[in-house]
Structure 1
Amino acid sequence: MERVWLGGKVVELIPSIHADERGALAALAFDRHRFAAVRSFIVEAPDGARRGGHGHHRGRQLLVRLSGSIDVELRYGGTVERLTLDDRLRAVLVEPPVWASQTYRGERASLLVLCDTAYDPDDYSEDPV
């Protein structure tokens, strides 16, 4: 069962895990959420580094933890939620205009971000909503 935060503005995407003697494959399906990525980037940061600190007016973002753990602070409608991307919670889809920041934990923590809009500096909101 997917978990949701901030009234459904943030939703967990649960990977299906396929494991055998060769290793494991974790697959994420986006069709249920009508998410189509048009760009992506990977952030790798040292322990304690804080990144993000903004929201988007239009763009949706899928945050996928690749390594380490990443504390995520989410703000919307005067409510603050905090969650940690780790082995138990691997990916969340963040709807606009949710404001988010990430604090990286561990050596070489990294995050894959998939976006459904092209880069547009006017889409960013620095102020928590």
Structure 2
Amino acid sequence: MAFQIDLKTFTDSRGNLTVIEKIVPFDVKRIFYIYGVNDAIRGGHRHHNTRQAAICLQGSCEIYNHDGNKEDTFLLNVPHNCLILEPKDWHQMYNFTSDAILMVLASEYFDAQDYIYEPYTK
């Protein structure tokens, strides 16, 4: 099941510095980011192998998640909050604010065969 982790952040008079080191539970092989989203729904899949870490660097969005047993909705609205998605987590991203930038770290290189588009039956 998907779960959230808080990223270590250092704050002082100069601003904030958030560190992603030894906290994501996989080796990162790919990084992508989603921005400029209108009212569209992104995602709509799960994976055979890929684990992901989603961080909304700016703005906010929501991620609906279903792992075959449990459904949850996560609000990502601070850049030090990270949502870990397991391969079995069928997810959709939506309600992006106009300034949202969602960065995703992935455990695998892109492979179209890794995607499963059929949602779980409720």
| Unmatched segments (≥5 aa) in structure 1 | 1-8
- Give the 3-state SS of the residue equivalent to 1:65 in structure 2: strand
How do residues 66-81 of structure 1 correspond to structure 2 at under 5 angstroms? 66-81=57-72
Q: 11-20 or 113-122: which moved more?
A: 11-20
Which letter maps to 2:51?
R
Which of 43, 54, 61 is 1:63 aligned to? 54
Number of residue pairs matched by the alignment: 120
Rounded to whole Å, the distance in 1 between the matches of 2:17 and 2:79 is 15
| Unmatched segments (≥5 aa) in structure 2 | none
Rounded to whole Å, the distance in 2 between the matches of 1:49 and 1:104 is 8
Which of the pair is proportionally richer in strand? 1
Matched with 2:31 is: 40
Rounded to whole Å, the distance in 2 between the matches of 1:114 and 1:34 is 11
Which of 12, 20, 23 is 2:15 aligned to? 23
Which of the pair is proportionally richer in helix? 1
Rounded to whole Å, the distance in 1 between the matches of 2:3 and 2:68 is 16
Structure 1 residue 47 displacement after superposition: 4.4
1:98 aligns with 2:89: yes
Matched with 1:128 is: 119
**TM-score of the aligned structures, taking structure 2 as reference length:** 0.88
Matched with 1:13 is: 5
Structure 1 residue 110 displacement after superposition: 1.2
Note if contact 1:10-1:93 (Cα within 8 Å) is conserved in structure 2. Answer: yes
Q: Deviation per CA, 1:28-74, whole angstroms, max 9, x where unpaired? A: 33x35531100111100334221111111100011011111111000
Matched with 2:104 is: 113
Structure 1 residue 105 displacement after superposition: 2.6
